[in-house]
């Protein structure tokens, strides 16, 4: 099994992740290759070549159970292929987690905690599904390099982060484009 950087970095990681197919959902649910969560008015269709995972290295995904302050909503990864696996991982944290007052600040703090990013990463705003998201493109390396993109927003009292990973920048951008048709209906305003 390859070394994993930290809990969230594992979500983007390497072919040898220990995961189990088929997610039992408490809050959201998977319908085919679409994740639906009424708490956020969220309807996100992930690429069909990804398969949902019930756990991430033994941590439950999609059950409503929290790991620390984070709820792991969705983990969808390519089948193990002996290389970097493309995937998307969605987390939810209550607003104010890590002392953050907005989604941009939360993303900075999560990258520092989960991926050990030093200093302030390059973060830019983008609009998806009528919402402002804050995007960073932090990947990882070591003996194997992966490309990453992280997009964070706030919705109904929570910070939602979409964590994408792939073995090339082209594959990673294709994953990010999967958000273009996403629906998200939040009553809370972006700060």
Note the pLDDT of residue 180.
Answer: 95
CB 161 within 8 A of CB 100: no
User: pLDDT class for 8, splitting at 50, 70, 90?
Assistant: very low
The pTM assigned to this predicted structure is 0.83
4 vs 26: CA distance, rounded Å: 28
Note the pLDDT of residue 56.
Answer: 83
Asked if pLDDT for residue 139 goes beyond 60, the answer is yes
Note the pLDDT of residue 119.
Answer: 83
CATH topology of domain 7-177: Protein Transport Mog1p; Chain A (3.40.1000)
Asked if pLDDT for residue 63 goes beyond 90, the answer is no
Note the pLDDT of residue 6.
Answer: 32
């Amino acid at each position: 099994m390859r070394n994993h950087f930290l809990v969230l970095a594992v979500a983007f990681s390497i072919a040898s992740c220990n995961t189990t197919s088929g997610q039992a959902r408490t809050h959201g649910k998977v319908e085919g290759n679409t994740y639906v969560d009424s708490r956020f008015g969220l309807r996100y269709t992930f690429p069909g070549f990804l398969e949902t995972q019930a756990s991430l290295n033994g941590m439950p995904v999609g059950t409503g159970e929290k790991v620390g302050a984070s709820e792991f909503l969705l983990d969808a990864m390519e089948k193990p292929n002996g290389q970097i696996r493309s995937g998307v991982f969605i987390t939810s944290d209550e607003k104010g987690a890590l002392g953050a007052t907005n989604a941009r600040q939360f993303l900075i703090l999560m990258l520092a905690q989960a991926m050990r990013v030093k200093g302030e990463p390059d973060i830019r705003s983008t609009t998806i599904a009528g919402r402002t998201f804050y995007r960073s493109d932090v990947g990882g390396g070591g003996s194997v390099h992966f490309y990453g993109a992280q997009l964070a927003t706030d919705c109904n009292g929570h910070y939602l982060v979409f964590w994408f990973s792939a073995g090339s920048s082209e594959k990673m951008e294709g994953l990010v484009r999967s958000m273009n048709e996403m629906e998200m209906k939040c009553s809370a305003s972006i700060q």
